[in-house]
Structure 1
């Protein structure tokens, strides 16, 4: 029995050092039995100093006083777990200051002070820098989206980046997308992001273009289909834009999804109609210049209509026809428009003739005067054409002198053919060659025309068949033609 009593215990019995564990409450065994026992609690998940309730209250008061002294209002931190000592809080504040955040930034989102530097801030910043966000931009990133410091790198951040890569967003574009729309890092993959992508593909957007679309306008991933994207798409389709063409427009001008339907898009469509644009021309206007849906349009239309009336005596109906042919004139600077006008005046064209030319070909407003000058003198000195021909065919100034006008004129001169400017310029290279091989000269015909919602119609030919249109995509040809204007 004695040897059993002398055996050492299997596990060492811990000896509590109360002075170490709780210096503020050292038990006094010599005191009366009425003395209160000391308070002990399990350490928190932050593994701070073990504190009792009173000690925590004292530490919170000290930390709050410190934050007030540097200008931070700590009211929102009341329900949160704070560091056990003011030194830890001071370390957080100094780290955030070095990152580039000011006291105003901390007051804008004081919950950032509840993030541990070692467990939250450093891992998140390290990952953001790893995916390509420059270190110098990290402070701005956190300022724009401070909630990112609460995120788990593995559970929340990495899946979002993988999702973007799965949409064919290029690796080197990931930092640009996230800096432009950092809130993406807080989205759930199975929610709005997946739904918006699926809807765009369903209306004809090519899946391979989703990546570039997201890069151009990442906000589309945060838009709800039912309340934002679909109502806008349905409205544009109701104007007569074919779905295939609208899909191409969205691929190249994705930002129009951000225009507010009720506040901007519908009022702008009504403004176009009120200034004389015909309803059947609205689809062509929008496809040529989608940005027109988001402009302060009524004011711009008023200004430009007054300008053309003042300078060229173009009436409202003439301005509306010019607007239909080139809706970009609503955004052209009036000083820029005056340069080709003054050039034509200087060559002897009357105000009435210049007005007629601009209504028929408003693209003149965007042509450089140097190019107009070269084309004009070639027309007068080499081709011996009259000014009346230029008034009847002002599109002459929009063709390249070196690549189209001169080569085709030389062919005409070698064959001794005399024709109008439009006959040899307003046709494709293939059509021009056919005309040169022909035994007779056919009459002048207008260029290709298109009625939105219908088929591509070539002069002198039948409508394109349904089968050809379905497979080859005349809508894409139309889109390239109209946008190139």
Structure 2
């Protein structure tokens, strides 16, 4: 018991901050408190405005879920070293906390609660265990005291630490940030960073997704980083709706400095030929482009130069396929070049293939490249055909290449790779009939001449 009953920490997390204190001043009984909390918050139906959802869970269903919650929590306490008697005493003294746990279950399974279906034991356990583990990590020995004194053990949240805090401190705050957004339904006091994104038009689900993946967002400077980022993107021609998509796709951008990161990156890319007029499209296609260091981008550019590509070609590739910047030189680009060099292609020919089909580097070795290469060797095409049409590797082997080659072989004609694969179904049939007709006509003429 001593292992878990020491002096508790001063900060439980922001999961109930704001919303819980308001509720507590308006509701006098645990039952009312629980019904309000379990029903969830929204802008039109919340305890913040002095009202709460009148939907009440059926007593039998509620009792069953409460008992299962107690069972899960009891087992969790036993795993932490408490005896059966001490765990049972803690459960008895923690009715409000048990109600809070049930409310989390309902929040996580709202759609099922709406149809008044009793949740399964597995659903209850899968919802509660990760949350209890996060509380144990946060409170340690003080967990039991916090639970038994809930909610009186809550204190005001500490002020946010400066942006320069180390990564371990940020990681320790992750459960707090996530629970604040998820538990309160965004109805409680929010960080100004989140309020700003909501004002831009970001919905609650998008906010939740961002916080889960990048909780550090609420510690990034609103005035020095997030607002300058938005203005920067607007100035480049990105529409506001596009900015929201970019932040949702790559929220790490909110932590970058305009002058130390974003502008130098774009300036460098402009220098290697990326079309400035296409900046909005480029960033929208691949927002992570702005997160890479100059050394990372330089390594990609250097390899493309080594393949013989001109600055103009490199600029076009990075403009149309900015994902290139995210490729690993050692794990992806160099092995691909080596693959073709080992099969007799010159470095210049590899460069031509890359410039003609930049997506070549996005093809899986084992699942696509090697099987298609091996089948190509059975078709009798020369290496030169592949240099002219490297897009061959982008077509499905089973659904396009093999069936069309079989038809060409059956008709006894020959077709270039380009004509065989790139034509639409109707055009391919027309071309095949035309070649077949021409072949038969030539054979007829040859027979008449021989007579």
Please, what TM-score do these two structures have when normalized by structure 1? 0.53
- Label 1:182 to 1:357 Cα distance change in 2 as closer, same or farther (>3 A): same
CA contact (8 A) 2:178 2:212 kept: no
Tell me the distance in 2 between the aligned counterparts of 1:148 and 1:345. 55
Tell me the distance in 2 between the aligned counterparts of 1:190 and 1:123. 25
The one-character-per-residue Cα deviations of 1:427-466 (angstroms, maximum 9, x if unpaired) are xxxxxxxxxxxxxxxxxxxxxxxxxxxxxxxxxxxxxxxx
Matched, 1:250 2:283: yes
The one-character-per-residue Cα deviations of 1:294-335 (angstroms, maximum 9, x if unpaired) are 22214533322221122x311111111112222332342333
Tell me the distance in 2 between the aligned counterparts of 1:121 and 1:71. 16
Matched, 1:168 2:196: no
Matched, 1:356 2:420: no
Q: 2:247 aligns with which of 179, 196, 214?
A: 214
Q: Tell me whether 213-222 or 322-331 shows the greater mean CA deviation.
A: 322-331
The alignment partner of 1:100 has SS state of: helix
Tell me the distance in 1 between the aligned counterparts of 2:287 and 2:356. 23
Matched, 1:329 2:360: yes
Tell me the distance in 2 between the aligned counterparts of 1:174 and 1:323. 39
- Label 1:299 to 1:219 Cα distance change in 2 as closer, same or farther (>3 A): closer
Matched, 1:197 2:230: yes
Tell me the distance in 1 between the aligned counterparts of 2:329 and 2:283. 21
Matched, 1:366 2:388: no
The one-character-per-residue Cα deviations of 1:237-280 (angstroms, maximum 9, x if unpaired) are 11122222222011121122222223x11222122223333222
Structure (1 or 2) with the greater helix fraction: 2
The one-character-per-residue Cα deviations of 1:186-222 (angstroms, maximum 9, x if unpaired) are 4454341111010011122222211111221122222
The aligned counterpart of 2:312 is 280
The aligned counterpart of 1:427 is none
Tell me the distance in 1 between the aligned counterparts of 2:369 and 2:146. 58
The alignment partner of 1:118 has SS state of: coil
CA contact (8 A) 1:363 1:398 kept: no
Larger radius of gyration: 1
The aligned counterpart of 1:444 is none
Give the CA deviation at 1:155. Answer: 8.3
Aligned-residue Cα RMSD (Å) equals: 4.4
Give the CA deviation at 1:232. Answer: 0.9
Structure 1 residue runs of 5 or longer lacking an equivalent are 1-64, 78-86, 125-140, 419-485
Q: How does 1:27-426 map to 2 (within 5 A)?
A: 69-70=3-4, 99-101=131-133, 105-106=137-138, 118=151, 144-146=174-176, 157=190, 159-262=192-295, 264-310=296-342, 312-335=343-366, 336-349=368-381, 353=382, 355-370=383-398, 371-381=400-410, 385-386=413-414, 389-390=415-416, 394-402=417-425, 404-406=427-429
- Label 1:216 to 1:150 Cα distance change in 2 as closer, same or farther (>3 A): closer
Please, what TM-score do these two structures have when normalized by structure 2? 0.56
The alignment partner of 2:223 has SS state of: helix
Structure 2 residue runs of 5 or longer lacking an equivalent are 12-89, 102-127, 158-170, 440-451
Give the CA deviation at 1:366. Answer: 2.4
Tell me the distance in 1 between the aligned counterparts of 2:418 and 2:155. 62
Q: Tell me whether 326-335 or 211-220 shows the greater mean CA deviation.
A: 326-335
- Label 1:71 to 1:118 Cα distance change in 2 as closer, same or farther (>3 A): closer
CA contact (8 A) 1:286 1:292 kept: yes
CA contact (8 A) 1:217 1:254 kept: yes
- Label 1:298 to 1:154 Cα distance change in 2 as closer, same or farther (>3 A): same
Number of aligned residue pairs: 309
CA contact (8 A) 1:169 1:214 kept: no
Tell me the distance in 2 between the aligned counterparts of 1:73 and 1:191. 39
